[in-house]
């Protein structure tokens, strides 16, 4: 018997299962690793005494594919996978991708667009009386009426379009166990309306009392100001301490979001990571070359969840939440020892991180009682005076991991919040980070240099990055290592003009940064930045925000970040000419780009034209002067004649 969750009737028979409690319909290939939501949910259900099977990437053109494990006793679970299916399928330019790292052989096309909606509607048609519970990132971030970049319109809650019974948002371990127990106890899915971390639809007459109402689907789909107001209301209630039930009318139905789930305690998180994951893709994918998405995480350790950094373009605040949950030191070391026993482990732990690697504590003690500050950020535009910075525990864990027998090196590759790190009055962590945990390059995310753009991103101003950069290279030089910072940068974020993009290009040149890859802002569902992109308004100030929307301007901003590439030379010259920044075209060190032949020829013609014009003007002036003199004499004669 293999240790994977059942994926076939043969697996069920081998385990003596006639009918499963749950069947999980999944948009990704099946990978049994705790970095994959489907693996966690199925293992948690199994751990709590439920039988569950997985149908990964069913052929949505064949009804039979959805029923190959039979009809479950308690319900179908539906998820598009680790990322939104539209993001998986399309680039920011809306071009169809020809790869999919979450599919076997990196092959695209193994799931439908809007997978949650497609899968759920098929199940509803085939099994009208069986409960359907949707979850995962796609469902979570589309739980309210939301702007859809690919349709360029506001779509209703995915719960309405999917015809599912209930939506689980955020991290759903406790939520799914409570729902499963109540379904097994005989409760109807229609009557379960009080579970934290769930959304449901009900007739408006059944709307619960005491809820916070945001503008309706009808209002936000026709009025951008109402959309921005709805966005703020939804975010303001995403706190486990003070967050209330949120409602949003959809025609004759009311969407109800119960309060957010409580962040898992250390003991609960330890239990989740102690479950018997196979830590690999299912063997059925071997003939196709395996599933690429396992490669980066197979020998990585997740030690935390949540992020109080709260960047506006990031979905973590709406999905995992801002409160930090952490695993115990014992749990982390136990996983490291497990990794060393895996046959293909080479001695390198690729990452010890999470959404933000160096967060091991809440940002301040006040939030434990009062919650995280509504409408404010802990690190931006400057660190909050109440921010508590402490890397002591993280340092201790990393030291013990380095000492585990069989471990040669421990790297940190998930995001380091340099703005948090640089506020640490003790340099012990940054010294250890640079000495032991950087694999030649450390990825950090300043994103931009313009203060007005960074404010719209919810990021700290560039001075924080400059301080970190200076200290990083000073320490790197002292220990005699050749290591580099690799900054993540974003073009065309709401608030960014061509002028800002030019300023960023100048900053990159000044700091000798040559990014090989840059990310054009991608308006994914549910984020504050996407709200700005769609409405042209900042939902927290209701002030207008400049948005680059044409493909021409977006590509121009992106090209400026790679001004140094020969293929971009002509384009950069055209952009700078149009922006009136010819001072940045030339051969001096301050210039962004050297003039090409076309520019030089144009300049030469312009000089010649000016020269001829000046010559004509000089002749004309001389003639004009004579004429004036003659005119003056004639005038005098005329006056004499008159007299």
Q: Which of 148, 150, 182, 146 is nearest to 165 (CA)?
A: 182
CA distance 451 to 631: 62
Taking CA atoms, 154 is separated from 148, 187, 498, in Å, by 6, 34, 28
Q: Which of the pair, 614 or 466, is modelled with greater confidence?
A: 466
The number of beta carbons lying within 10 Å of the beta carbon of residue 395 is 18
Q: Parse the chain into domains and list their residue ranges.
A: 9-198
pLDDT at residue 605 in the model: 85
pLDDT at 643 over 90: no
pLDDT in tens, 486-529: 999 999 999 999 999 999 999 999 999 999 888 999 999 999 99
Residues ≥6 apart with Cβ < 8 Å to 366: 386
Cβ burial of 89 (10 Å; 0-12, 13-18, 19+) is: buried
For the segment 99-115, what is each residue's pLDDT rounded down to a tens digit?
999 999 999 999 999 99
pLDDT, position 439:
87
Select the CATH number that applies to the domain covering 9-198 from these four: 3.30.1490.20, 3.90.1150.140, 3.40.50.2300, 2.60.120.620.
3.40.50.2300
Distances (CA, A) of 113 to 3, 43, 78, 142, 158: 31, 27, 14, 14, 13
Residue 614 pLDDT: 61
pLDDT value of position 635: 38
Which range has the worst mean pLDDT, 56-65, 144-153, 604-613?
604-613
State how far the Cα of 264 lies from the Cα of 261, in Å rounded to an integer.
9
The string of DSSP codes covering 363-386 is S-THHHHH-SPTT--SSSSS--TT
How confident is the prediction for the chain on average, in pLDDT? 93
0.85 exceeded by pTM: yes
Under DSSP, is residue 347 helix (H, G, I), strand (E, B) or coil? coil
> How high is the pLDDT of residue 631?
39
Q: By the 8 A CB rule, do 316 and 359 touch?
A: no
Residue 629 has pLDDT above 60, yes or no: no
> Which H/E stretch holds residue 76?
strand 75-79
pLDDT digits (tens, 9 = 90+) for 279-319: 999 999 999 999 999 998 999 999 999 999 999 999 999 99
The tens digit of pLDDT for each residue in 236-245 reads 999 999 999 9
Tens of pLDDT, residues 581-596: 999 999 999 999 999 9
Give yes or no for residue 135 having a pLDDT over 90: yes
From 320-324, 618-622, 634-638, the region with the lowest mean pLDDT: 634-638
Q: What is the pLDDT of residue 617?
A: 55
Q: What is the mean pLDDT of residues 219-227?
A: 98
């Amino acid at each position: 018997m293999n240790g994977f969750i059942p994926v076939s009737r043969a697996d069920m028979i081998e385990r003596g299962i006639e009918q499963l409690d749950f069947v999980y319909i999944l948009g990704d290939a099946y990978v049994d690793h705790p970095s994959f939501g489907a693996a966690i949910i199925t293992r948690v259900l199994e751990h709590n005494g439920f039988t569950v099977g997985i149908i990964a990437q069913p052929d949505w053109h064949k009804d039979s594919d959805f029923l190959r494990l039979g009809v479950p006793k308690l319900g179908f679970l539906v998820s598009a996978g680790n990322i939104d299916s539209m993001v998986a399928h399309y680039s920011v330019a809306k071009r169809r991708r020809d790869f999919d790292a979450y599919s076997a052989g990196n092959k695209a096309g193994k799931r439908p667009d809007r997978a949650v909606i497609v899968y759920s509607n098929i199940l509803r048609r085939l099994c009208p009386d069986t409960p359907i519970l949707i979850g995962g990132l796609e469902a979570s971030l589309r739980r309210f009426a939301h702007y859809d970049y690919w349709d360029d319109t506001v779509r209703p809650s995915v719960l309405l379009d999917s015809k599912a019974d209930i939506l689980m948002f955020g991290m759903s371990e406790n939520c799914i166990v409570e729902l499963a127990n109540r379904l097994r106890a005989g409760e109807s899915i229609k009557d379960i309306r009080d579970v934290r971390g769930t959304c449901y639809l009900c007739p408006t007459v059944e709307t619960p009392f005491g809820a916070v109402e945001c503008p309706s689907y009808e209002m936000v789909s026709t009025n951008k100001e109402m959309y921005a107001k709805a966005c703020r209301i939804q975010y303001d209630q995403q706190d486990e301490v003070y967050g209330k039930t949120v409602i949003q009318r959809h025609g004759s139905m009311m969407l109800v979001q119960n309060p957010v789930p409580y962040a898992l305690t250390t003991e609960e998180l330890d239990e989740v990571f102690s479950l018997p994951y196979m830590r690999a893709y299912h063997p059925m994918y071997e003939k196709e070359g395996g599933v690429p998405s396992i490669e980066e995480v197979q020998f990585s350790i997740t030690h935390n969840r949540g992020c109080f950094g709260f960047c506006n373009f990031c979905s973590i605040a709406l999905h995992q939440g801002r409160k930090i949950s952490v695993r115990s030191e014992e749990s982390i070391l136990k996983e490291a020892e497990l990794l060393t026993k895996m046959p293909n482990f080479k001695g390198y732990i690729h990452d010890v991180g999470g959404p933000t690697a160096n967060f091991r504590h809440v940002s301040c003690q006040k939030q434990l009682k009062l919650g995280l500050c509504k409408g404010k950020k802990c690190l931006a535009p400057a660190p909050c005076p109440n921010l508590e910075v402490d890397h002591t525990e993280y340092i201790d864990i990393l030291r013990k991991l380095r000492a585990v027998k069989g471990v040669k090196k421990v790297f940190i590759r998930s995001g380091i919040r340099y703005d948090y790190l640089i506020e640490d009055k003790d340099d012990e962590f940054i010294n250890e980070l640079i000495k032991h945990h950087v694999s030649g390059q450390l990825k950090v995310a300043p994103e931009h240099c313009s203060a007005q753009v960074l404010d719209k991103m919810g990021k700290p101003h560039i001075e924080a990055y400059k301080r970190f950069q200076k200290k990083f290279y000073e320490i790197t030089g002292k220990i005699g290592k050749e290591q580099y910072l690799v900054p993540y940068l974003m073009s065309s974020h709401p608030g960014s003009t061509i002028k800002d993009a030019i300023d960023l290009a100048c900053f990159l040149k000044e700091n000798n940064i040559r990014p090989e890859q840059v990310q054009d802002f991608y308006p994914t569902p549910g984020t504050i930045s996407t709200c700005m992109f769609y409405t042209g308004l900042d939902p927290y100030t209701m002030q207008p925000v400049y948005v680059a929307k044409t493909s021409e301007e977006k590509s121009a901003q992106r090209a400026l970040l790679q001004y140094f590439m020969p293929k971009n030379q002509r384009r950069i010259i055209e952009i700078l000419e149009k922006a009136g920044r010819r001072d940045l075209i030339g051969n001096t060190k301050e210039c962004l780009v050297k003039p090409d032949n076309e520019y030089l020829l144009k300049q030469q013609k312009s000089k010649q034209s000016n020269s001829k014009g000046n010559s004509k003007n000089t002749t004309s002036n001389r003639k004009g002067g004579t004429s004036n003199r003659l005119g003056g004499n004639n005038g005098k004669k005329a006056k004499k004649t008159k007299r």
